[in-house]
Amino acid sequence: MKKLILAVLAAGALNCGAAHAAEAGNLDADIRTTFSKLQSMSEGYYTQEEWTGLAQQMDQIAKRAEEAQAWDQLVEMNRVKAMALGQMRRDPQGAIAVLRGTLEKFGAKSPARMGRFYAMLADNYAQLGQEEEIAKLIKEFEQSSYYNAEHYAFSGGQGRLEELTVTRPAAKGASSIIVTMMERARRKAAFGPGKVLPDVPCTDLQGRTFKLSELRGKVVVVDLFARGFTLYPRTLKQLAGAYQQHQKDGLEIVSINMEQTGKPEELAAFAQAHGMNWVIVPGNEELTRKLAGFGDTALLLLSRNGVIVARDMGEANLLQSIKDALGVR
């Protein structure tokens, strides 16, 4: 009889394990579907109703994961939701709330994934221009049980066409990729919303030297770009459309090339081929380094009085951010 009871209990445990694995697999599939939908929405316009419906789906998936105690899937769903809030919805406060809540409630249940949560927190604080919060976050991470002193090779040839200089903080005797990412976010926060860009002299393709302060009175998009970036053509298409539509309303664009090897004649041909009928600056190392622009494209939106109102706007809200700054519909 005792053997029979043990066998029944063992079979039950196996069935529970199989059921848990099956639900985890279902959750993974649903998370991938949700992420694909978010990617599609981020590439164009979407209605508030579409967003509300998808947000409800994400909450339902997270609830299922919590009921199934599928902690990795729960954490991943919350990560995707925070990404959507921070990048698509331009709601860094909402993203921070999701990330912090997940970290505090479920961090110990999925510790291997918490490093990326700290990195995402830093990115969202950077959107808000909160440099001091990122500095505190770095210390919090270094002192936490989630700290990961992970080594990686660095040859200096990153960013496709551009040498990349990154901060390599030494922590606990090792280099931490997550800390490096947060340090970069901290540098970006120094020139986040509410801040003013350094007034560095720039020289355009025609040899004219100017300062950004001379453009006060206009809404200015400062576009740090490299021709080889995969997603840049889509951003460029949006910028060209916005410029054509709103130059008359006071919009100006200054595109600063980040390629050390970019020749002026090649940049001029690229600009003509892509309808870049605005100011093109063939490299300004002093400015791009100050703005933490190496290794990635960057967009900064300046108000008419030269104050940064947004940074790194996503495709879904780039045009609307420009319209808001211009005060037009």
Which range of residues forms the domain containing residue 319? 202-326
- Whether 277 is covered by a domain: the verdict is yes
Considering the domain architecture, whether residues 33 and 179 belong to the same structural domain is answered as yes
- Domain end call among 140, 155, 189: 189
Considering the domain architecture, whether residues 145 and 281 belong to the same structural domain is answered as no
Considering the domain architecture, whether residues 236 and 176 belong to the same structural domain is answered as no
CB atoms within 10 A of CB 176: 24
**Most confident listed range (87-96, 98-107, 272-281, 309-318):** 98-107
Considering the domain architecture, whether residues 164 and 253 belong to the same structural domain is answered as no
User: pTM for the whole thing?
Assistant: 0.70
pLDDT above 60 (res 6): no
In this prediction, residue 4 carries a pLDDT of 46
Q: Give the mean pLDDT of 207-216.
A: 92
* β strands within the chain, DSSP E: 170-171, 174-175, 202-203, 209-210, 219-225, 251-257, 279-281, 298-302, 308-311
Residue predicted with more confidence, 121 or 265: 121
Cross-strand pairs, 307: 196
In this prediction, residue 8 carries a pLDDT of 41
pLDDT above 70 (res 200): yes
**Most confident listed range (128-132, 175-179, 189-193):** 128-132
- Whether 4 is covered by a domain: the verdict is no
Q: Give the mean pLDDT of 27-32.
A: 93
302 φ/ψ angles, rounded to the nearest 5 degrees = -105, 135
Ordered alpha helix ranges (H), 274-315:
285-290
In this prediction, residue 149 carries a pLDDT of 67
Q: Give the mean pLDDT of 69-73.
A: 94
Considering the domain architecture, whether residues 175 and 210 belong to the same structural domain is answered as no
Q: Give the mean pLDDT of 147-156.
A: 56
Considering the domain architecture, whether residues 150 and 210 belong to the same structural domain is answered as no
Q: Give the mean pLDDT of 128-132.
A: 89
d(C-alpha 222, C-alpha 279), whole Å: 10
In this prediction, residue 329 carries a pLDDT of 82
- Domain end call among 144, 159, 189: 189
- Whether 195 is covered by a domain: the verdict is no
Those residues whose C-beta lies under 8 Å from the C-beta of residue 282, and which sit 6 or more positions away, are 203, 204, 205, 257, 262, 263, 264, 267
Distance in angstroms between the alpha carbons of the first and the last residue of the chain = 78
pLDDT above 80 (res 129): yes
Residue predicted with more confidence, 184 or 117: 117
In this prediction, residue 269 carries a pLDDT of 92
What pLDDT band is residue 29 in, cutting at 50, 70 and 90?
A: very high
- Whether 207 is covered by a domain: the verdict is yes
**Most confident listed range (123-127, 137-141, 231-235, 308-312):** 137-141
Asked if 222 and 300 touch (Cβ cutoff 8 Å), the reply is yes
Q: Give the mean pLDDT of 215-236.
A: 87
Burial class (CB in 10 A: 0-12, 13-18, 19+), 45: exposed
Q: 84-115: per-residue pLDDT in tens?
A: 998 888 899 999 999 999 999 999 999 999 99
In this prediction, residue 13 carries a pLDDT of 43
- Whether 22 is covered by a domain: the verdict is no
In this prediction, residue 12 carries a pLDDT of 47
- Whether 12 is covered by a domain: the verdict is no
What pLDDT band is residue 18 in, cutting at 50, 70 and 90?
A: low
pLDDT above 90 (res 150): no
Burial class (CB in 10 A: 0-12, 13-18, 19+), 299: buried
Considering the domain architecture, whether residues 131 and 217 belong to the same structural domain is answered as no
Q: What is the CATH number of the domain that holds 232?
A: 3.40.30.10
- Whether 20 is covered by a domain: the verdict is no
Count of domains forming the chain: 2
3-state helix vs strand vs coil in the chain, percent to 5: 55, 10, 35
Q: How far is CA 242 from the centre of its chain?
A: 22
Those residues whose C-beta lies under 8 Å from the C-beta of residue 140, and which sit 6 or more positions away, are 118
d(C-alpha 61, C-alpha 74), whole Å: 8
CA triple 236-241-245, angle to 5 deg? 145
Considering the domain architecture, whether residues 34 and 140 belong to the same structural domain is answered as yes
Those residues whose C-beta lies under 8 Å from the C-beta of residue 110, and which sit 6 or more positions away, are 71, 72, 74, 75
**Lowest-confidence range among 71-80, 153-162, 194-203, 305-314?**
153-162
pLDDT above 90 (res 317): no
- Whether 43 is covered by a domain: the verdict is no
In this prediction, residue 152 carries a pLDDT of 46
Considering the domain architecture, whether residues 129 and 263 belong to the same structural domain is answered as no
Q: Give the mean pLDDT of 62-68.
A: 94
Residue predicted with more confidence, 59 or 160: 59
Q: 40-53: per-residue pLDDT in tens?
A: 887 667 888 999 99
Considering the domain architecture, whether residues 267 and 123 belong to the same structural domain is answered as no
Ordered alpha helix ranges (H), 108-231:
114-127, 131-142, 177-189
In this prediction, residue 231 carries a pLDDT of 74
- Domain end call among 135, 160, 189: 189
Considering the domain architecture, whether residues 179 and 206 belong to the same structural domain is answered as no
Considering the domain architecture, whether residues 210 and 301 belong to the same structural domain is answered as yes
